[in-house]
Structure 1
């Protein structure tokens, strides 16, 4: 087990990284260690000291928080003021065999968003500022509590989803939003894959302001409505007329539980040995993709983001069926979320990049982390 180096201040973190002569594996509480390719490093850079609420201005909808702060603590704090992180961060602790949902820094580094992403945007759309230290040991501060135009790198967006390969994040400034007064979910049963995608597409293109759309095969398609109660009721009735099919309605408590399960991939937690993929595809391609893969694999799947996101569980194999999965896709990208460490070391966990994009990624890595000190190889071999 690599030994841990735990800086207690920004200056100490900068000095440690600047003086390093061997790579670090970045970690807050380690809840996302099973995501991405394994990192071979002599030491772990423990970022857990950079935790706590720096500033919370509920009237301004702004939260400045240490990157090592647990997501559960943040959600409890803003929930008490009836506010939320609108991108609906998932809790993948059951999928990844982690003790809790992780930290804000891990959430940003992995760019994790839930079902509301199709309406509210992704993590990177809710970051106002970000602070940290690059792989060269340089302290940086990008963005602020007051939104301004940017020149050069838009660093909050660049670092979000970089999996700790560019910089060590110490704090994040997030935009928070009011939580909805209530929610209901329209339930459509007795649909096949194509019918479900068509129904979800119709609902998302309507003026009914559907905040999430998902389909669990053999169960139902789910369409969530959020807001004040009279508006939710009006939009539910309008949606029923638009869809021209019998509907069931799930009230607030059951609706919330259902969307938590979809958000967290709870239906895939029972088979921890089975590789799990998330495929980003054109929604209309999802039914054909599944039809093709069903002819070759015994699989389980769920559509989220109105069919634009496919959760796909496949049988255990040395390559997690990577060749079959990616070969069946017309476009988009496939990310291996769960697999044994030897498999994650052997296959491309993230979608292979075209040559031009790979060259650009290498230049960005060289700019931020010229010695490849931070999480080398986490995303791609040699990067």
Structure 2
């Protein structure tokens, strides 16, 4: 195991990166460390020292926080003021066998969002600013607590979802939103895959403001409504008329528990040896993906984002059945979120890029990290 570098200040971080002569693996709490190709690094850059709230302005709905701050700490603070991270960050600790739900910097680096993404957007849509250090050892800041129109590259959005391959983040500025007063979940039972997607599509196209839509096979379709109690009750009745099916209603406490399990992929946590994919496609394509795979593999699956996100668990194999999985959809992208290290080293963990996009990614990598020392190869080999 290589050396562990733990900077305490941005200046110290910049010095360490500038002086590095071999690749560095960036980690915060390490929760998502095993998503992506294994990083062959000479040393680990431990970012957990960058922890704490810089500024929280509840009235302005702005949070400025150091990147190593635990996500659980942030969510507790926001909840005390009746606010939330509206993109509903998932907690993959049980799924990946980690001890913590992760840091805010790791969340931004991964751009992972939960069920409310279909209504509120992804992490990338809520990021206002970042501070960090590039692979060249240059400190930078982009964005601000004040939302304004600017020209040039939107660097906060660019580094969001880059998995630490472009820069080591020291702090992030996020937009927060009021938490809903209450929630209910409308439940539909007895539907097959195609009927479930059809029902979810009807719900999302309605004026009922559904904040999440998911389907657990052989169980139910779940449609969440959030807001003030009278509005939720009115929209629930309207949704029942739109769907033209018998419905059940799940009250707030049970609703919250159900959506936490869907958000975190809890149904897949019990099989840690089984590779797990998250496939983002057009909702109408989701039933076809399952149909194409069901006769060839012993699979388990879940539809989130009204069918736009397919969680897919496949049997253990040396290649996570990559060819079959990627061959099951023509448009979209699939990410292998759980697999043994040897498997992750052998397959494309992230969706392979077309030539033009791969060339653009290479130019961006060269601009931010010309020596290719930050998490090299984690997303794509050679970058």
TM-score (norm 1): 0.99
Measured against aligned partners, the alpha-carbon deviations of 1:307-350 in whole angstroms (never above 9, x if no partner) come to 00000000000000100000111210110000000000000000
**For 2:134 and 2:148, how far apart are their aligned partners in 1?**
22
Match of 2:157 in 1: 157
Structure 1 SS opposite 2:169: strand
Structure 2 SS opposite 1:288: helix
Whether contact under 8 Å (1:350, 1:379) holds in the other structure is yes
TM-superposed CA distance for 1:32, in Å, is 1.1
**For 1:231 and 1:2, how far apart are their aligned partners in 2?**
56
Measured against aligned partners, the alpha-carbon deviations of 1:201-240 in whole angstroms (never above 9, x if no partner) come to 0000000000000000000000000000000000000000
Match of 1:332 in 2: 332
Structure 2 SS opposite 1:108: helix
**For 2:367 and 2:351, how far apart are their aligned partners in 1?**
22
TM-superposed CA distance for 1:2, in Å, is 2.1
Whether contact under 8 Å (1:14, 1:137) holds in the other structure is yes
Match of 1:365 in 2: 365
Consecutive unaligned residues of structure 2, counting only runs of 5 or more, are: none
Match of 1:194 in 2: 194
Residue pairs, 1:294-333, within 5 angstroms: 294-333=294-333
Residue pairs, 1:51-62, within 5 angstroms: 51-62=51-62
**For 2:331 and 2:289, how far apart are their aligned partners in 1?**
10
Whether contact under 8 Å (1:133, 1:139) holds in the other structure is yes
Measured against aligned partners, the alpha-carbon deviations of 1:84-107 in whole angstroms (never above 9, x if no partner) come to 000000000011110010000000
Match of 2:50 in 1: 50
TM-superposed CA distance for 1:150, in Å, is 2.5
Q: Which moved more, 1:207-216 or 1:145-154?
A: 145-154
**For 2:42 and 2:33, how far apart are their aligned partners in 1?**
15
Whether contact under 8 Å (1:37, 1:379) holds in the other structure is yes
Structure 1 SS opposite 2:81: coil
**For 1:273 and 1:247, how far apart are their aligned partners in 2?**
37
Match of 1:11 in 2: 11
Match of 2:122 in 1: 122
Whether contact under 8 Å (1:285, 1:330) holds in the other structure is no
Structure 2 SS opposite 1:35: coil
**For 1:29 and 1:334, how far apart are their aligned partners in 2?**
25
Match of 2:265 in 1: 265
Structure 2 SS opposite 1:204: helix
TM-superposed CA distance for 1:295, in Å, is 1.4
Whether contact under 8 Å (1:275, 1:338) holds in the other structure is yes
Kindly report structure 1 stretches of 4+ aligned residues shifted beyond 2 Å: none
Structure 1 SS opposite 2:137: coil
**For 1:267 and 1:47, how far apart are their aligned partners in 2?**
31
**For 1:249 and 1:78, how far apart are their aligned partners in 2?**
28
Measured against aligned partners, the alpha-carbon deviations of 1:242-263 in whole angstroms (never above 9, x if no partner) come to 1100000000000000000000
Structure 2 SS opposite 1:232: helix
Residue pairs, 1:72-91, within 5 angstroms: 72-91=72-91
Match of 1:169 in 2: 169
TM-superposed CA distance for 1:151, in Å, is 2.1
**For 1:72 and 1:41, how far apart are their aligned partners in 2?**
29
Match of 1:355 in 2: 355
Structure 2 SS opposite 1:130: strand
The alignment of Structure 1 onto Structure 2 pairs a total of residues equal to 383
Structure 2 SS opposite 1:109: helix
Match of 2:214 in 1: 214
TM-superposed CA distance for 1:30, in Å, is 1.1
